[in-house]
């Protein structure tokens, strides 16, 4: 069996090696020639999988190690009788860590307490619902807009109510059809409905926000804050827009090592199921121990002071913002620099792989650290 895989997908040989011969290809440059003899095709978000790529090939199954599926023509796959799976939720915790790090950093700059913020989440799926849970446990007031979800446990509200919050965080797929398309969901009217000093975070897909409208809005409202992980013209980045946003990163919100391994593993599970083969590999054995395993603080440390530092030790979004700005500033080919940053992304672990040491009877602090997503170890 021949398996063609994106070169940026980890642990493919370790998982799929016993199923067939693995060939690696740069995802953004993948051609029909690369895939014509393949049985299984494993991609990430940068490969457009459609008739142009697959017609006349022997591909029987396509797996994308991503949550998003807007790069896949699922109707074509169905019509051509080609099996398909994505990796729902694989890097959802990583995106939540990203949003929390962004909020911590912006609150620090503004000398605001994070727990005083109201947060409006757009899209209450795998990422959105985890974000709601974590923020609520941290004491923030959270509401969410999702016209496709009916769940009494979620704090659902209208889009207008969500847009009126201090923070608006987007977690929707990119869609262009149906009653609720998300293409340019955040356009001039939506931006105008937001507070003048609101924080907008987009870690979903670039075209969900009309980047031109956003630029004009930012020029007119100096207190409006923006965090962009995804860009409408990706892998191109509009230099002018990057200069205007508070934090800008190279589509890496989901790039924890845990999230990437989960993605490959989830499609390994789906491929085994498709082929009717037993799964011989287990993910926990493959994930390396995080470099930073324990973080301890002096007894009596105040959670409000410790929490931001802890988040920044675990994942500091400002590092990724600096990397993007530096790369773009000196770049003659922005798209190549953007992809280089993503390919060479430093190892990052999810908060849940970090342990914080607390005193045995420190019940409140224990609950707060757990709420933030960290593991808690009791000091002996």
Ligand X SMILES: O=C(O)C(=O)[C@H](O)COP(=O)(O)O
39-98: which residues touch ligand X (CB under 6 A)? 44-46, 66-68, 91
In whole angstroms, how close is the CB of 8 to ligand NAI at the nearest point? 13
The interface partner of residue 46, options being ligand NAI, ligand X, none and the CB cut-off 5 to 8 Å by kind, is ligand X
Contacts of 19 (CB under 8 A, 6+ apart): 1, 3, 40, 271, 272, 275, 277
Please state whether beta strands 118-122 and 167-170 pair in parallel, antiparallel, or not at all (unpaired): parallel
Q: Does 124 bind ligand NAI (CB under 6 A)?
A: yes
**Is 45 annotated as ligand-binding?**
yes
Q: What is the per-residue binding string for ligand X in 224-263, x denoting contact by CB under 6 A? A: ---------------------------x--x---------
Question: Would you say 38 or 185 has its CB closer to ligand NAI?
Answer: 185
If the CB atoms of residues 117 and 328 are measured against ligand X, the closer one turns out to be 328
Output 49 or 156, the one with its CB closest to ligand X: 49
Would the annotation count 66 as a binding residue? yes
How many of the chain's residues bind ligand NAI (CB under 6 A)? Answer: 35
Show contacts with ligand NAI in window 317-376 (CB under 6 A): none
Cβ 39 to ligand NAI, closest distance in Å?
A: 27
Q: Which is nearer to ligand X, 77 or 117 (CB)?
A: 77
Residues forming a β-bridge with 4:
23, 41
Q: Is 118 helix (H, G, I), strand (E, B) or coil?
A: strand
Q: Is position 255 annotated in a ligand binding site? A: yes
How far CA 115 is from CA of 94, 127, 130, 302, in Å, comes to 21, 20, 17, 14
Cα–Cα nearest to 176, from 184, 164, 186: 184
| Out of 8, 57, 169, 182, the residue judged to bind ligand NAI by CB under 6 A | 182
Active site residue 13: no
CB closer to ligand NAI, 203 vs 266? 203
Q: In 10 A of CB 305, how many CB atoms? A: 10
Q: Which of 71, 130, 134, 234 is catalytic?
A: 234
* 44 vs 349, beta carbon nearer ligand X: 44
Residues 6+ apart with CB under 8 A from 260: 9, 10, 65, 91, 254
SS3 376: strand
Handedness of CA 316, 301, 93, 360 (dihedral sign): positive
Spell out the residues 6+ positions from residue 127 whose beta carbon is closer than 8 angstroms to its own: 67, 89, 92, 95, 96, 171, 203
* Phi and psi based region of residue 84 (left: phi greater than 0; alpha: psi -120 to 50; beta: remaining): beta
Token pair belonging to 13: 């040989």
Residues 126-165 that bind ligand NAI (CB under 6 A): 126-128, 145-149
Please say if 234 is a catalytic residue. yes
Q: 101-123: b or e for each residue (b if 16 or more CB lie within 10 Å)?
A: bbbbbbbeeeeeebeebbbbbbb
92 binds, among ligand X, ligand NAI, none (CB under 5 to 8 A by kind): ligand NAI
**Residue 181: CB minimum distance to ligand NAI, A:** 7
Residues at the interface with ligand NAI (CB under 6 A): 67-68, 88-89, 91-92, 95, 122-128, 145-149, 171-175, 180, 182, 185, 203-205, 229-230, 251, 253-254
Detail the residues annotated as belonging to a binding site for substrate.
45, 66, 255
Q: Which residues are catalytic?
A: 205, 234, 251
């Amino acid at each position: 069996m021949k398996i063609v895989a994106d070169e940026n997908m980890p642990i493919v040989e370790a998982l799929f090696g016993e199923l067939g011969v693995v060939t690696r290809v740069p995802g953004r440059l993948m051609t029909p020639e690369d895939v014509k003899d393949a049985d299984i095709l494993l991609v990430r978000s940068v490969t457009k999988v459609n008739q142009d790529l697959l017609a006349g090939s022997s591909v029987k199954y396509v797996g994308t190690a991503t949550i998003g599926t807007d790069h896949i023509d699922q109707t074509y796959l169905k019509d051509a009788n080609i099996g398909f799976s994505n990796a729902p939720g694989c890097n959802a915790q990583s995106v939540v860590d990203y949003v929390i790090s962004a909020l911590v950093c912006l609150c620090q700059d503004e000398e605001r307490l994070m727990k005083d913020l109201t947060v409006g989440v757009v899209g209450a799926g795998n990422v959105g619902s985890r974000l709601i849970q974590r923020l609520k446990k941290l004491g923030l007031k959270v509401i969410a807009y999702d016209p496709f979800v009916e769940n009494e446990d979620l704090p659902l509200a209208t889009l207008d109510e969500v847009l009126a919050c201090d923070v608006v965080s987007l977690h929707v797929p990119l869609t262009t059809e149906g009653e609720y398309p998300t293409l340019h969901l955040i356009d001039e009217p939506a931006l105008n409905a937001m507070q003048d000093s609101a924080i907008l975070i987009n870690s979903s897909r670039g075209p969900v926000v009309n980047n031109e409208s956003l630029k004009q809005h930012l020029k007119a409202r100096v207190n409006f804050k923006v965090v962009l992980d995804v860009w409408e013209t990706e892998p191109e980045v509009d230099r002018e827009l990057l200069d205007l946003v508070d934090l800008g990163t190279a589509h890496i919100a989901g790039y924890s090592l845990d999230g990437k391994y989960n993605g490959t593993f989830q499609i390994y599970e789906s491929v085994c199921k498709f082929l009717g083969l037993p799964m011989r590999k287990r993910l926990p054995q493959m994930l390396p121990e995080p470099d930073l395993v324990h973080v301890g603080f002096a007894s009596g440390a105040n959670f409000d002071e410790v929490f931001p530092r802890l988040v920044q030790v675990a994942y500091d979004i400002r590092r990724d913002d600096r990397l993007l700005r530096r790369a773009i500033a000196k770049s003659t080919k922005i798209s190549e620099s953007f992809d280089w940053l993503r390919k060479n992304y430093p190892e990052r672990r999810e908060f849940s792989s970090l342990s914080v040491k607390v005193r045995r009877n420190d019940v409140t602090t224990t609950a707060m650290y757990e709420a933030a997503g960290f593991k808690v170890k009791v000091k002996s």
